[in-house]
Amino acid sequence: MKCDRSMLLLYAVTDRAWTGKKTLLQQVEEALSGGATCIQLREKELPEEEFRQEALAVKELCRRYHVPFLINDNVELAVSCGADGVHVGQHDMSAADVRRRIGPGKILGVSAQTVEQARQAEEDGADYLGVGAVFSTSTKSDADAVSHETLQKICAAVSIPVCAIGGIHKENLHLLKGTGIAGVALVSAIFASPDIRKSCEDLKKLALQINAQDTLEALLHTNIRGAIFDADGTLLDSMGIWDTLGEDYLRTKGKIPRENLRETFRDMSLLQAACYYRENYALTESPEKIVEELNAMITSFYEKEAPLKEGAAAFLEELCQRNIKMCIATATDHSLIRAALKRCGVLHYFTFILTCGQAGAGKDTPAIYEEALALLGTGKEETYVFEDALYALKTAKTAGFPTVGVKDPSSAGQEREIIKQADYYLYTFTK
Ligand SMILES: Cc1ncc(COP(=O)(O)OP(=O)(O)O)c(N)n1
Ligand SMILES: Cc1ncsc1CCOP(=O)(O)O
Ligand SMILES: [Mg+2]
């Protein structure tokens, strides 16, 4: 029995701290009946012979449920009792030595906290990685913290499946959405629960939802029939223009910007920004002329530069192959978005471009999404709204649309909330 991604979906790692009136064997059976997809026997203090007897009993139980049975740390016991595999960490026997000892047919799980360790483990013959602690945990006092960014990087760096571990429970499991993990490994959320079977059932449902086997892949297997895409920050890597536009403009006038002018575009209209530059940098042009020149720079950016996000073209093609109707819903000028999408070679995927101007309202109300939906002619529950901005995503979600959050640096401060709110979260369009 070798490892595949589905084995890691709901990985129960034992701990006898909470057996109470039950035996560990009974607890493991409850976990199996609740849908655990893998069992790891983790005994840190049990005398060797008791460990062996227990291992044999748990092995038989797992056989009945056709679920892989692994032993933590003790490689010799895993070999002698015929377990399906063994899990070792960075301070245990080296992965390469374990692989030599157990042979090619047994499952080898290795803990990794960094990309380097992950790559090394794969090279040494690991079948899967356990990465954590991804949240704070009191189950393992010496566990190093692993950020979600590192978890995501590890998933992208290796081709073996990865499960997250450490402090995961029902309330925070969704935060792992989109990291690329195949599943979650849990100790206390399962074995400290008064109703292990029910907890496993609930956790498995959540794990299935966030299982980013590939979020893109998962999305394609939903009921999706229509897709409403925001443009800036979602399909186009265009938000950066606002960071530099003010400074770039002043430089064209031979002025040296004294400050970061990003706020002038975030908090002011173009006309207000023009007046601000005029007053603070002694420009002689009228505010209207400055607006015209700023607009020319913006137009040039969309017409000549604004790039498509990596992988977006291939994703749109996949949606198109599946006959999914697509449109754009944007607050930006129609002609600018059209020009950028045309230059990037993806305009033909969209039935139409709808702007907030045309809908008569911004994305703080659902008018644009409702109008786009009516024009697409698909059902609301099968029409997914793709947005990078939290406020827009919330509007669509509140209006009853399934939502897909798309990562963009401009929304970095809101990322956690977007992940929480969105039904799916795309860190990237690349597979
Ligand atoms: C699935 C899984 N992932 C990680 C670990 C941790 O292993 P390790 O770092 O060796 O720590 P201990 O569990 O031995 O205390 C694990 N056991 N399982
Ligand atoms: C074994 C292990 N490895 C990293 S964190 C951890 C403990 C996980 O336990 P819990 O799920 O109760 O936080
Ligand atoms: Mg260990």
Taking the CA of residue 140 as reference, the ligand 2 atom at the shortest distance is: 7
- Against a cut of 0.80, is the pTM above it? no
Low-confidence ranges of the chain (pLDDT < 50): 212-213
> Is residue 202 in contact with ligand 1, taking CB distance under 6 Å?
no
Domain of 276: which CATH number?
Answer: 1.10.150
Q: Which active-site residues does the annotation give?
A: 42, 111, 140
CA of 69 to the centre of ligand 3 (A): 16
CA of 102 to the centre of ligand 1 (A): 18
If asked whether residues 234 and 248 sit together in one domain, one would say no
If asked whether residues 231 and 250 sit together in one domain, one would say no
* Alpha carbon separation from 17 to 39, 182, 188, 214 (Å, rounded): 16, 27, 9, 35
Whether the ω angle into residue 133 lies within 30 degrees of 0, i.e. cis, is yes
**Residue 333: which domain range?**
219-238+307-426
Say how many domains are in the chain. 3
Residue 15 CA: which ligand is closest? Answer: 2
* Alpha carbon separation from 95 to 44, 107, 112, 127, 312 (Å, rounded): 19, 11, 11, 10, 38
If asked whether residues 183 and 246 sit together in one domain, one would say no
Tell me which residue has tokens 């819903």.
Answer: 329
If asked whether residues 275 and 332 sit together in one domain, one would say no
If asked whether residues 298 and 343 sit together in one domain, one would say no
If asked whether residues 359 and 258 sit together in one domain, one would say no
- Residue that terminates a domain, selected from 304, 327, 349: 304
If asked whether residues 156 and 292 sit together in one domain, one would say no
Query: Is position 289 within any domain?
Result: yes
Check: complex ipTM more than 0.85: yes
CA of 14 to the centre of ligand 2 (A): 10
Predicted pLDDT of residue 212: 45
Select from 37, 51, 84, 87 the residue to mutate for testing ligand 1; criterion: most ligand atoms less than 8 Å from CB.
87
Predicted pLDDT of residue 93: 97
If asked whether residues 227 and 149 sit together in one domain, one would say no
By C-alpha distance, which of 414, 73, 409, 57 is closest to 262? 409
Note the pLDDT tens digit of each residue in 83-100. Answer: 999 999 999 999 999 999
Domain of 156: which CATH number?
Answer: 3.20.20.70
Query: Is position 354 within any domain?
Result: yes
By C-alpha distance, which of 189, 69, 55, 184 is closest to 131? 184
If asked whether residues 316 and 260 sit together in one domain, one would say no
Tell me which residue has tokens 């947005």.
Answer: 387
Residue 139 CA: which ligand is closest? Answer: 2
Ligand 1, atom 12, residue with closest C-alpha: 89
By C-alpha distance, which of 417, 421, 389 is closest to 402? 421
Note the pLDDT tens digit of each residue in 56-81. Answer: 999 999 999 989 999 999 999 999 99
Query: Is position 172 within any domain?
Result: yes
Predicted pLDDT of residue 297: 96
Domain of 356: which CATH number?
Answer: 3.40.50.1000
Predicted pLDDT of residue 126: 98
Query: Is position 169 within any domain?
Result: yes
Query: Is position 288 within any domain?
Result: yes
Query: Is position 105 within any domain?
Result: yes
Query: Is position 431 within any domain?
Result: no
Residue type, 50: E
Sheet holding 383-387, edge to edge: 353-355, 325-330, 226-229, 383-387, 403-406, 424-426
Query: Is position 394 within any domain?
Result: yes
Buried b (16+ CB within 10 A) or exposed e, 246-283: bbebbeeeeeebeeebeebbeeeebeebbbbbbeebeb
If asked whether residues 187 and 296 sit together in one domain, one would say no
If asked whether residues 384 and 406 sit together in one domain, one would say yes
Select from 92, 111, 151, 190 the residue to mutate for testing ligand 1; criterion: most ligand atoms less than 8 Å from CB.
111
Select from 137, 141, 190, 191 the residue to mutate for testing ligand 2; criterion: most ligand atoms less than 8 Å from CB.
137
Q: Has 188 been labeled as part of a binding site?
A: yes
Predicted pLDDT of residue 210: 74
- Residue that terminates a domain, selected from 256, 288, 304: 304
Predicted pLDDT of residue 242: 84
Phi, psi of 94 (to 5 degrees): -65, 145
If asked whether residues 233 and 153 sit together in one domain, one would say no
> Is residue 403 in contact with ligand 1, taking CB distance under 6 Å?
no
